[in-house]
Amino acid sequence: MRTILIEDPADPRVAAYRDIRERDLTGREGLFIAEGEVVVRTLASPASRCAIRSMLLAEKRVAGLSDVIARLGEETPVYVAGQAVLDAVAGFALHRGILALGEKPAPVATEDLLARLPNDCVVVAASDIGNHDNIGGLYRNAAAFGAAAVLLDDRCGDPFYRKSIRVSVGAVLRTPTAAALPVADLVETLIAHGFEVIAMTPGAQETLASLKPGGRRAILMGSEGPGLPAEIIARCRGVKIPMSGGFDSLNVAVASAIALHQLTCSPG
């Protein structure tokens, strides 16, 4: 099998993988780190929107990924190291023993993405979500419920951070998305392309349960705490998930899952 043995943690060929706990590659030439078998298999699959540049594996993981390695082109190096060397490269005990270097897809304009979507679809839109777990959760939920795309505004965190990709279980790598816009522009673009924008907000009078699947719908989520700006909600159809026990809202990823279920799952 075609592999390259790495015996020195300082080997320049694996510099991109070094000390990944302390840094992220998303701002460097559009590269990112994928971690774990499920995520790396997604990255290397035909469903991925991203290119795979290289892999770095613990010796014990090579056999289990032999099918993935066999599908890679000769130009894609597969580095292999003992566990101690791998841990020294990564900067922490990497129990999964599976890393890959990926390349982000070219940015797509929101208008172009929306124009390609069917007349009956749901997209997830988000504003000012900085937490990487929540971003990963949005993508995972979108993939699980068959959302056509995830659209983030220019105040959201980068979905290609290692933790976001990991939490999404690789959904970030295969879910259509577009270049970020300010939230007001994002809402107007959605409306211009025939989407009803449903703003999730605890102050709404209408409940989520009143909505039925069908048509072009966008579920718009804001940050926990401040939520969506009032002027943005005014341009949308405000909807709430009723709460009890003194709570007024849910974690944004949980709320997105409930909203997606309501708008994508027919009764029965």
pLDDT in tens, 185-221: 999 999 999 999 999 999 999 999 999 999 999 999 9
Q: Are residues 129 and 64 in the same domain?
A: no
What pLDDT does 108 receive?
Answer: 95
At which of 73, 103, 133 does a domain end? 103
Domain end residue (candidates: 103, 122, 139): 103
Q: What total number of domains does the chain contain?
A: 2
- Please give the residue range of the domain that contains residue 169: 110-264
In three state form, how does the secondary structure of the chain look?
A: CCCEEECCCCCHHHHHHCCCCCCCCCCCCCEEEEECHHHHHHHCCCCCCCEEEEEEEEHHHCHHHHHHHHHCCCCCCEEEECHHHHHHHHCCCCCCCEEEEEECCCCCCHHHHHHHCCCCEEEEEECCCCCHHHHHHHHHHHHHCCCCEEEEECCCCCCCCHHHHHHCCCHHHCCCECCCECHHHHHHHHHHCCCEEEEECCCCCCEHHHCCCCCEEEEEECCCCCCCCHHHHHCCEEEECCCCCCCCCCCHHHHHHHHHHHHHCCCC
Burial of 192 (0-12, 13-18, 19+ CB in 10 A): exposed
Could you tell me which of 105, 92, 106, 1 has the C-alpha nearest to residue 55?
1
Q: Is the pLDDT of residue 62 over 70?
A: yes
Do 155 and 220 sit in the same domain of this protein? yes
Pairwise CA distance, residues 79 & 15, whole Å: 12
Same domain, 65 and 155: no
Q: pLDDT tens for residues 146-155?
A: 999 999 999 9
Give yes or no: residues 189 and 256 share one domain: yes
Residue 246, phi-psi category: left (phi > 0), alpha (psi -120 to 50), beta (remainder): left
Residues 218 and 115 in one domain: yes
For residues 147 and 97, membership in a common domain is answered with: no
Q: What is the mean pLDDT of residues 27-53?
A: 93
Asked if pLDDT for residue 268 goes beyond 60, the answer is: no
Residue 23 is predicted with a pLDDT of 75
Please report the pLDDT score of residue 26 as a whole number. Answer: 65
Looking at 61, 87, 103, the residue that finishes a domain is: 103
Q: How many CB atoms neighbour CB 233 within 10 A?
A: 20
What's the pLDDT band for 20 if we cut at 50, 70, 90?
Answer: confident
